[in-house]
Amino acid sequence: MTNTSENFGISPAAAEVYESRFVPAIFAQWAPRLLDQAAITTGTRVLDVACGTGIVARVAADRVGPSGRVVGVDASEAMLAVARRLRPDLEWHRGDAGALPFADGSFDAALCQMALMFFPDRARALREMRRVATEMVAVCVPAALDEQPAYRDFVDVAVRHAGPPAASLLGTYWSCGDRDELRGWFRDAGLTVDRFTTHTGSARFPSVDAMVATEVEGSPLIERLDAGTYEAITSEARTVLARFTDPDGSVSAPLVAHIVTAR
């Protein structure tokens, strides 16, 4: 996820955390589901909007083969630097989701995984995706926070120790989860929803401490915490998240997400 709101700035260190922690723990599992629902196959021209470090683009490239085309676009140069390092053979562009730097109809499908919630004008971003894609617009977003028991508990812990700003910095992830509101943005963009599905996956971490570190250090929240507050969050999280912890200490946090495809 790349956040383009004023609340988030992606540093090179945060981009590395995103790729090394968030991608294997959370995002890698959703890319195949998104591509399946969007019917991405050999020869498809794909645009990955707000590509981050490029997990969707990388999986798509394996599907479309040499006869297809995969392009990633993101507002964060730090994210793109990681993406280029991992797949220098793919096309990576810096750009705004609200004004995509591509001609009309440049792609067959425009995809966006776990990033719509970071755009200040969601309908505008979807309208841009519709403009550049001739066949399909597909989006994957987390469901609302009240459908995420582990993350809801974690955000509550963070707010208790770091104050209300923690809710803004961490709660943005869940801000596109309302089904009716999500459908409304597609409608406002001139798109007709083809399929709206909801899936339950999991966010897996080797320990509660690793989960807390991933969530905190992968966001600007880390810049607002002193060592004592960080430790207090981690300590309480060990207790609060114990019900999501396996006997070996690893965490399996339920993660519910919507996948929407439209034309």
- Are 138 and 197 a contacting pair, CB within 8 Å? no
Q: What is the pLDDT of residues 3-35, one digit of tens each?
A: 333 334 688 988 998 999 999 999 999 999 999
Q: pTM score, two decimals?
A: 0.91
Tens of pLDDT, residues 76-127: 999 999 999 999 999 999 999 999 999 999 999 999 999 999 999 999 999 9
pLDDT digits (tens, 9 = 90+) for 205-255: 999 999 999 889 877 788 899 999 999 999 999 999 999 999 999 999 999
The backbone region for 249, taken as left when phi is positive above 0, alpha when psi lies in -120 to 50, beta otherwise, is: left
The number of C-alpha atoms within 13 Å of 133 and in the hemisphere containing its C-beta is 31
User: Who's near 74: CB < 8 A, 6+ residues apart?
Assistant: 2, 50, 51, 52, 80, 83, 92, 94, 95
* Count of beta carbons in the 10 Å neighbourhood of residue 135: 14
* CB atoms closer than 10 angstroms to residue 200: 10
By three-state DSSP, how is residue 256 classified? Answer: strand
Q: Are 114 and 3 in contact (CB under 8 A)?
A: no
The DSSP result for 190-244, as a single string, is T--EEEEEEEEEEEEESSHHHHHHHHHHTSGGGGG--HHHHHHHHHHHHHHTGGG
Tell me which H or E stretch contains 184: helix 179-188
Q: Supply angle C-alpha 49, 44, 25, rounded to 5.
A: 50
HSE of 58, CA atoms in CB hemisphere, 13 A? 18
State the Cα–Cα distance between residues 149 and 62, nearest whole angstrom.
34
Q: Is the pLDDT at 258 greater than 70, yes or no? A: yes
- CATH fold, domain 10-260, is Rossmann fold (3.40.50)
Amino acid at 57: A
